[in-house]
Structure 1
């Protein structure tokens, strides 16, 4: 399979998932320049994913799947031995989907996307900041006394790690939520997560 990513975008979560699964030889990571909409080898990325967004995955059969929540579950199911997602039909699988949706809609799109956007006006950024506290309160309450979002590390944690990484770029001080800070440190200490973060920061800096 081929997984399309851009350094430090939400597709960082797909790199984390690949590393957690030990699947580097089976999943080829293909860098995308989201400004020029081209891949590292010069291909037109919109011909692969018309939305032009990362991540996307192209399966061995040539099918293309986009949207992070779907891509992450596909990777988890492709490498079930890694235990990155509960089995389909299990109540915990629906909990996984619940947290993927929360991270995607309530944090990624509602809070961080406007704050990171160079074109969002100050009204949009103010609205995003005003809504951030309640969402982070909810997350912190869930994480009190828990290691991960579910009973074990999952692709939802990979997504959340990628999104919380943006706090430093938009000046959201997570110190107000000790449970989130402790969670971030715990997740960042996982070898696969640390490696993925290091690799993507290096790629990001090299392109700057």
Structure 2
């Protein structure tokens, strides 16, 4: 068993649900306006600043943790890594978020992640 999610009915499972909700509602959907061709540059800058605040919160939560839930990789990390990786593609500066940067590197170094990214043409 991969143990990608804590057992149903446990507080840890609810914490996982919190992370998945945060990732989908505060980060994932936050990128949508950046793809709107009618959005002004000023509006896009506002969107980027909001995303930076949300990623800043995520960065603070990662202090002292290997993964979002602690020491165990979960489905939330697969999602969190994906969304955090979009900052590179969208040129959103996260250089002040050292815990998030370390997290992205740690997840990217997982053999299965590297294999998947290579298969999708996301790595050279």
Compared with structure 1, are the counterparts of its residues 176 and 195 closer, same or farther at alpha carbon in structure 2 (3 Å cutoff)?
same
**Is the aligned partner of 1:201 residue 2:117?**
no
2:23 corresponding residue in structure 1: 103
Unaligned runs of 5+ in 2: none
Give the TM-score normalised by the residue count of structure 1: 0.55
CA RMSD of the aligned region, Å?
A: 1.7
Paired with 2:38 and 2:16, the residues of 1 have a C-alpha distance of 31
Looking at structure 2, the residues matched to 172 and 187 of structure 1 have their Cα atoms a distance apart, in angstroms, of 19
CA 189–120 in structure 1, closer or farther in 2 if over 3 Å, else same: farther
1:148-201: CA deviation from partner (whole Å, max 9, x where unpaired): 001310000000111112112211122111111100011111111111111112
Contact conserved, 2:33 with 2:47, CA < 8 A, in 1? yes
Q: Which residue of 1 aligns with 2:37?
A: 119
* Unaligned segments of structure 1, at least 5 residues: 1-80
Say if 2:52 is the partner of 1:130.
no
Whichever structure has more strand as a proportion of its residues is: 1
How far apart are the structure 1 equivalents of 2:25 and 2:43? 16
Deviations 1:39-79 (A, max 9, x none): xxxxxxxxxxxxxxxxxxxxxxxxxxxxxxxxxxxxxxxxx
Query: Rg: which structure is higher?
Result: 1
TM-score of the superposition, structure 2-length normalised? 0.89
> Which 4+ stretches in 1 moved above 6 angstroms?
none
Cα drift, residue 118 of structure 1: 4.2
Question: Is residue 114–residue 120 contact of structure 1 (8 Å, CA) maintained in 2?
Answer: no
Structure with greater proportional helix content: 2
Residues 124 and 91 of structure 1: CA distance in aligned 2, closer, same or farther (over 3 Å):
same
Question: What is the aligned residue count?
Answer: 121
CA contact (8 A) 2:56 2:97 kept: yes
Report SS of the residue matched to 1:102. Answer: helix
